[in-house]
A and B are shown apart, each in its own frame.
Chain A
């Protein structure tokens, strides 16, 4: 009898423990991500991985919203006092993780720290350089004076994470990495970080905003696609990013998991060497040199674009995880054209354009691409090469590892190459990718083929200086359309970001490449 009571008590006790454990477990989130954060110093390395993980711990004055603009975060409102002066009003009642109050001094100290962080491979100074003088009006009001009118300063500041003033003045990157200085205002606090393995954070109960849904978050770094998927299937992680393309159909039919997809502010494009009179990989079909470079003619570039079956590439190669692109920027972002459509597959028109330009006999060209960097990158290059062959050209494809590819592309070793580029703000993106290379003005930093159209560049300069954001967006739309009419590059598609989670979780995709607990809620 006593044994029976002992056993039943044990049974009830363990049942309670299991149910409590189940409830407690339901509040912990484990993510499997491809992004590997390599530091806890929010001002050390501007990259996707750090931007993603640091968002949980630290906050900025403004934050990106999903349509290419920004929303208030630590700043409540902002306005221009005159063309080169901005005034930001800060949110009251915000505390850092160590209990100290947040105020204007912290922002000023952060701005001072950013250009002086030693050894940064990719500094955040690019976001704060336009500010020549920052001053506080009172503890919750700041004034920034910019060198030239900068209508997108709030967008620049969306990448700048604020740390307490005493830490900004004294801490080194090593202090952040050890966790001592990793203090922010974010919805989660740092608990543990094992470099290259995982990041563990717990809920900040003193957070100013709405209560975070997860008591603890673990971000595990799993670089290999197959291993990340296996971790999700075995239940070891609750959600993953970058679902491998080939596994999407299988996951869609599995009732245990949900897929969330959203367009990414990226474009897969083909760049053509239109700057030089003679291009290294463009020759006559028999290999002899050509008198002039066919890629200099906008009609030839247009023909090359019309020959590409974008719908097939999106459907077969990318298994639907992409959307055909009409221009370099994601539709819906301020400044993205609302009238451009992706070039349809139109071989007869393409051939007519080639003939009109005097290249009815075609030519020989080599298309270069990475083979280890973007999903299906080598396959996309092969598909495009096949498309151009049907147009009547002789095409060779060369796939290279990323570490070799980018150096050679910058040195203008290639005639045509396929790559991806991220554009989070249309004006800055067009300036970097399509603006004629000009070091002083900061134009064309990503324009590896040195494409140049001074007429359109002048319109871009005018658009960038326009203070009224609505007017600026309209002007940028015209500029985008002009660049595409001149076929400055051939846009292929915008990738769609896919996330898979176990049933009961809702993932909210973002156009920026991020994957953190702020995007995930229980259903």
Chain B
């Protein structure tokens, strides 16, 4: 297991290098940050000074090499717009995105798993049919539209929940979170619902398919024949067996929810990383975009590694470093 983990980590380094190169070249091709940042009325002296202070007067390969040298010591560059280390700007916004992602995943798993189980166990009941219809609607509707609809219904018409922003913050082990008390949860509920809808539908359908497939297998019949309670057969044996594909999907979705909650964050003015990165792309704030994408790559790799390890724990038949067929 240890060898396996080490091998995966070494591949990570290569992927990070490639990502940083791509982003550097890509943003350079889009346009010149000085055009966006410096006011059009400023004279040439001002532009040259800004260009020099941001390090943009050197050729691209020189800028990239300097970036690599700094990256080796943990400094991923200074944001053009904020004037602070790019990593610092991102980490400042990270708790907001993480708590939203966590809440969204919680909702989608806590609601999706039971609903999917029910739909799988009683597929012909009208409730199950309604659940499946809901799941189709859930992954077909665009996030942007659903978000605005949620705001219109729950905030403007009914006035039950606030329409934008993040709630009051509470310090938790040095990190400022808002979902630890009821007032902050009220603010987080609509964006989390918005984010969760797609995952919810996915989990419902996947769970149902897995349950349908597993119910036909021998071990379920033998467990009942052995005299086990139905709840034990379902809750222990069945659940463990459907978990493997579920964990894969949940892992993938967790990564994408953290990295790409951009649309939800923009609509609900949630001050998270997604909004930061889209603004930085438009303002051509290259250090922030590079740092963000490297963190995202690292996160996806980490989550996939965790998923693979969880497999081997869930399913004793899985050998992580199996070489023979």
A432 within 8 A of B: yes
- Chain B hits for A439, CB < 8 A: 43-44
Chain B contact residues (Cβ within 8 angstroms of A): what range? Answer: 35 or more
Residue A65 is within 8 A (CB to CB) of chain B in the complex: no
Indicate if A21 sits at the interface (CB-CB under 8 A): no
Partner of A230, one of B30, B164, B284: B164
A95 contacts chain B at the CB level, 8 A cutoff: no
Decide: A407 near B269, CB < 8 A? Known: A120-B53, A121-B50, A122-B38.
no
CB-based contact A123/B50 at 8 Å: yes
Known A-B contacts A234-B155, A404-B30, A406-B35; the reply to A227 vs B269 at CB < 8 A is yes
| A123-B46, A174-B84 given; A421·B267 CB < 8 A | no
Q: Find out whether the CB atom of B159 lies under 8 angstroms from the CB atom of A196.
A: no
Contact A403 B281 (CB under 8 A): yes
In whole Å, how far is B291's beta carbon from the nearest beta carbon of chain A? 16
Provide the bound-state CA to CA distance between A250 and B282, in Å: 31
Expressed in whole angstroms, the Cα–Cα distance for A220 and B32 within the complex equals 30
Mask: chain A, 210-241; 1 = CB below 8 Å from B; 0 = not: 00000000001111101110110111100000
B42 CB contacts on chain A under 8 angstroms? 122, 126, 445
| Chain A residues within an 8 Å CB radius of B36 | 402-403, 406
**How far is A118 from B49 in the complex, measured between Cα atoms in Å?**
11
B212 within 8 A of A: no
The reply to whether B159 and A234 contact each other, CB–CB distance below 8 Å, is yes
How many residues of chain A get a CB closer than 8 Å to chain B's CBs?
57
B40→A421 contact, CB < 8 A: yes
| A235→B155 CA distance, assembly (Å) | 9
Please report which residues of chain B, range 9-63, place their CB below 8 angstroms from some CB of chain A when the two chains form the complex: 30-33, 35-47, 49-50, 53-54
A47 at the interface (CB under 8 A from B): yes
Determine whether the beta carbon of A39 is less than 8 Å from that of B83.
yes
A44 close to B (CB within 8 Å): yes
For the complex, give the distance between the alpha carbons of A405 and B40 in Å: 14
**What residues on B are CB-neighbors of A236 within 8 Å?**
155, 162-165
Interface 9-mer from B74-82, B110-118, B235-243:
B74-82
Given A196-B93, A403-B31, A406-B35, CB of A224 within 8 Å of CB of B269: yes
**Which A residues touch B165, using CB under 8 A?**
197-198, 220, 222, 231, 236
Q: How far is the CA of A58 from the CA of B24 in the complex (A)?
A: 38
Are B82 and A39 in touch, CB under 8 angstroms?
Answer: yes
Interchain CA distance A452-B42 in the complex, whole Å: 19
When the two chains form their complex, are residues A223 and B275 in contact, meaning their CB atoms are under 8 A apart?
yes
Least CB distance from A193 to B in Å reads 12
Q: Is residue B92 within 8 Å, beta carbon to beta carbon, of the partner chain?
A: yes
Q: By the criterion CB–CB under 8 Å, are B41 and A372 in contact?
A: no
Interface presence of A251 (CB below 8 A): no
* Structural contact, A196 and B148, CB atoms closer than 8 A: no
For residue A52, CB closer than 8 A to chain B, the reply is no
Residues on A with beta carbons closer than 8 Å to the beta carbon of B169 = 194
B271 within 8 Å of A (CB atoms): yes
A395-417 interface with B by 8 A CB criterion: 401-408, 410
Q: Is A258 an interface residue (CB 8 A)?
A: no
Decide: B266 and A223 in contact? CB cutoff 8 A: yes
Take A123-B49, A439-B44, A445-B40 as given contacts and tell me if A372 and B282 are in contact as well, using a CB distance cutoff of 8 Å.
yes
- Which residues from A are CB-within-8-Å of B283? 403
Q: Of B50, B92, B159, B164, which one neighbours A227 at CB under 8 angstroms?
A: B164
Cβ-defined contact, B155 with A406, below 8 A = no
CA A121 – CA B54 in complex, angstroms? 8
Instruction: List, in ascending order, chain B residues with CB within 8 A of A408's CB.
Output: 31
Complex-state Cα separation, A403 to B30, whole angstroms:
7
CB neighbours (8 Å) of A223 from chain B are 266, 269, 275, 279
B156 within 8 A of A: yes
| Given A121-B80, A236-B163, CB of A410 within 8 Å of CB of B35 | yes
Given A226-B267, A408-B31, A446-B40, A44-B83 contact (CB < 8 Å)? yes
Which residues in B have their C-beta under 8 angstroms from that of A421? 40
Given A38-B82, A121-B54, A401-B282, also A227-B37 (CB < 8 A): no
A contact residues around B166 at 8 Å (CB) = 194, 197
A428 lies within 8 A of chain B by Cβ: yes
* Chain B contacts for A38, CB-based, 8 A: 81-82
A442-458 CB mask vs B (1 if < 8 Å, else 0) is 10011000000000000
Cα distance, A195 to B176, chains bound together (Å): 13
Check if B268 is an interface residue, CB within 8 A of chain A.
Answer: yes
Is A335 an interface position by the 8 A CB rule? no
B136 contacts chain A at the CB level, 8 A cutoff: no
Is B257 in the interface zone, CB < 8 Å from A? Answer: no
A445 and B155 form a contact (CB under 8 A): no
Cα A460 to Cα B163 with chains together (Å) = 51
Chain A residues, Cβ within 8 Å of B89: 195
Determine if A46 is an interface residue (Cβ-Cβ < 8 Å): yes
Do B39 and A46 have beta carbons less than 8 Å apart?
A: yes
Pair B163/A234 contact, Cβ less than 8 Å:
yes
Q: Is the CB of A47 within 8 A of B39?
A: yes
A221 touches B269 (CB 8 A): yes
> What residue in chain A is nearest B33 (Cβ atoms)?
A121
Whether the pair B39, A122 counts as a contact (CB closer than 8 A) is yes
Chain A residues within an 8 Å CB radius of B35: 406-407, 410
Where the two chains meet, the residues of B that have a C-beta atom closer than 8 Å to any C-beta of A are 30-33, 35-47, 49-50, 53-54, 78, 80-84, 89, 92-93, 148, 151-152, 155-156, 159, 162-166, 169, 266-269, 271, 275-276, 279, 281-284
| 3 smallest beta-carbon distances between A and B, as pairs | A407-B31, A121-B37, A446-B40
Give me 6 other A-B pairs in contact (C-beta within 8 A), A119-B53, A230-B148, A445-B43 excluded: A195-B89, A227-B164, A231-B165, A236-B162, A236-B163, A403-B31
Name 16 interchain pairs, CB-CB below 8 A, sorted by A.
Answer: A119-B78, A123-B46, A221-B269, A223-B275, A223-B279, A224-B266, A226-B267, A227-B269, A236-B155, A236-B163, A236-B165, A403-B31, A403-B284, A410-B32, A410-B35, A445-B41
